[in-house]
Structure 1
Amino acid sequence: MNEKILHLLGIARRAGRLSLGNDAAIESLRKGSTRLVLLAADLSPRTAGGVRQAAEEEGTAVASCGATMDEISMALGKRTGVVAVNDAGFAKKLLELSRAQAAGTE
């Protein structure tokens, strides 16, 4: 399942629909352009808490992508634990995949 999420993130990155990193994601949230925030499995609890709070204030969904920062780095070309998805279509599909992964189905 991680492969599907990472592949779709790569496509979204090439399409210019992602904000990568904690600061960029929070800025995107504040502008109102973020539809979904994905967090790496090994992201620090402090960073995750700050991003979750910012997303909650803006009414944006937050999900774990199940991949580590190293795996995200390999897929996107930048090491990050926070990925803001700024496209409704990509966000919908990525949220479906992350929920299916959390439920243990494919």
Structure 2
Amino acid sequence: MTNSYLNILGLAYRAGKCSLGEETIVKDIQKNKAKLVLLANDIGPQTYKKLTNKCKTYEIPLRVVDDRETMSNAIGKSQRVAIAILDAGFAAKIKSLLG
């Protein structure tokens, strides 16, 4: 897996195009504001199930990426296991880099 998507993730975050925190992400999925949800590969099973189910229901693309450490470093926040991308351009770019 390349780290170039992490650069885009950092840009998206600094541009204010990300939402963090399980509850906020769920709300953004329900409002169809989330264009892509990224989950850490070491996310807890309950959070994983909740977010994957929401994404399926609302047809929001979802990717399991690196561990929480790597994801958190990309945006400069600690212990983040889920990040929603709220901008279609950033989401498309990240999806293309993740394959």
TM-score with structure 1 length normalisation?
0.85
Asked whether the 8 Å contact 1:17–1:85 carries over to 2, the reply is yes
Count the aligned residue pairs.
98
Gaps spanning 5+ residues in structure 2: where? none
SS in 2 for 1:43: coil
Q: The residue matched to 2:3 in structure 1 has which SS?
A: helix
User: Which residue number corresponds to residue 83 of structure 1?
Assistant: 83
Taking every aligned residue pair, what percent have the same amino acid on both sides?
A: 33
Give the Cα–Cα distance (whole angstroms) in 1 for the partners of residues 56 and 76 of structure 2. 28
Which structure dedicates a bigger proportion of its chain to helix? 1
How many angstroms apart in 2 are the aligned matches of 1:95 and 1:64? 11
> Structure 1 CA distance, aligned partners of 2:19 and 2:6?
15
Q: Residue 11 in 1 paired to residue 11 in 2?
A: yes
Encode CA deviations 1:8-49: one digit per residue, 9 max, x unaligned. 100000111000121111111111111111111111222111
Task: Spell out structure 1 runs of 4+ moving beyond 3 A.
Answer: none
- Structure 2 counterpart of 1:23, one-letter code: E
CA shift, 1:80, in A, is 0.8
8 Å CA contact retained: 1:64, 1:98: no
Q: Under a length normalisation based on structure 2, what TM-score does the superposition of the two structures give?
A: 0.91
* CA distance in structure 2 between the partners assigned to 1:34 and 1:44 by the alignment: 21
Summarize the alignment of residues 1-106 of structure 1 with structure 2, pairs less than 5 Å apart.
Answer: 1-65=1-65, 67-78=66-77, 79-99=79-99
How big is the shift at 1:53?
0.6
Q: Which moved more, 1:73-82 or 1:51-60?
A: 73-82
User: Cα distance, 1:87 vs. partner?
Assistant: 0.6
